[in-house]
Amino acid sequence: MLAQILIILPIFALILTGWIARKSGALGPTATREINRLVVYFALPALLFDIMAKAEPHEIWQPDFILAFGFGCGVVFILTIVMRIASGHHLVDAVIDGLTTSYANAGFLGFPLVLALIGESGLAATLIATILTACVLFAIAIILIEFGLQQETSRLHIVLKTLKALVKNPLLIAPTLGTLVMLSPWELPDTVDVYLKLVGGAAAPCALIALGLFLADRTANQKHEKWSTTGIFVFLKLVAQPALTWVMAVPVLGLPSQMAHIAILLAALPTGTGPFMLAEFYERKSVLTGRMILITTILSVGTLSAYLAIA
């Protein structure tokens, strides 16, 4: 348990930094939006491009692992969207909620946790999970959000406007260009590599500071979400997703024990900052998303420890 606590401690420190900055007046009421825009337009695209450009095709093409991790992630994502639409929520909000319950923090927490518990042999699988979460799932969510935002009556116009919006979205352009670099014989120049690391490295810290700023803002905290909804979401993220991943990885696919273990471990990670960034970027309510990041991160210390004890 101590290993998990030490790994997630910087997350709380960064959130607290944002909270103090807002409460002390060091950053003003518009800081949350501006920092989040910095992440969405520059830091996160650089990170996504770097992840894809540096990946090796033979490393990331592990169909059984992709299916096992993607199954748990995808089922929870779709189930949440269906539940939220059935309860009267807009498609855009439902998609952000679906991302909230299925977006495992593989990039920020997965690598140090797997390295500490399993070693370097588990890093390739962690990279696959990061790509599936931060690139594939994120892209699907953005496509659905852009589709839901269109108000045209003609289906053709809706499709065309959605495509136009997607082509201009940096969170889709960056991993697409990174994939082209990965598949090409070219290597990134050292200068570009350093630039991507510097800019991309700011994505997670800035997003967590923005979350702290948001939580410190009284106007944001006046918008309440039912705690019963939060409870359901926490269950979906910390219990249902790893359980579904286990079903696909062990009884169905019969993955080797270490690969199955890594898939379940990564599926059991808490919610990352991606859904919060999208909610803020598209100006949707993000109280529930921010609450989920905090609560699942805290509770994951117990749930991950319980899983490790069983495994």
Nearest to residue 70, comparing CAs of 129, 113, 141?
129
Q: What is the pLDDT of residue 308?
A: 85
- As a whole number, mean pLDDT of residues 112-124 equals 84
Whether the Cβ atoms of residue 131 and residue 56 lie closer than 8 Å to each other: no
Q: Rounded to the nearest 5 degrees, what angle is found at the Cα of 72, between the Cα atoms of 171 and 84? A: 70
Number of Cβ within 10 Å of residue 14's Cβ equals: 20
2, amino acid identity: L
Domains of the chain: residue spans and CATH: 2-24+33-217+228-310 (1.20.1530.20)
219-273 pLDDT tens trace? 444 455 677 889 999 999 999 999 999 999 999 999 999 999 999 999 999 998 8
Whether the Cβ atoms of residue 197 and residue 50 lie closer than 8 Å to each other: yes
Whether the Cβ atoms of residue 262 and residue 125 lie closer than 8 Å to each other: yes
11's tokens: 């997350």
174-217 pLDDT tens trace? 989 999 999 998 888 999 999 999 999 898 889 889 888 888 87
Which helix (H) or strand (E) segment is 275 a member of?
helix 274-281
**Phi, psi angle pair for 126, to nearest 5°:** -65, -40
Task: Identify the residue with better confidence: 190 or 7.
Answer: 190
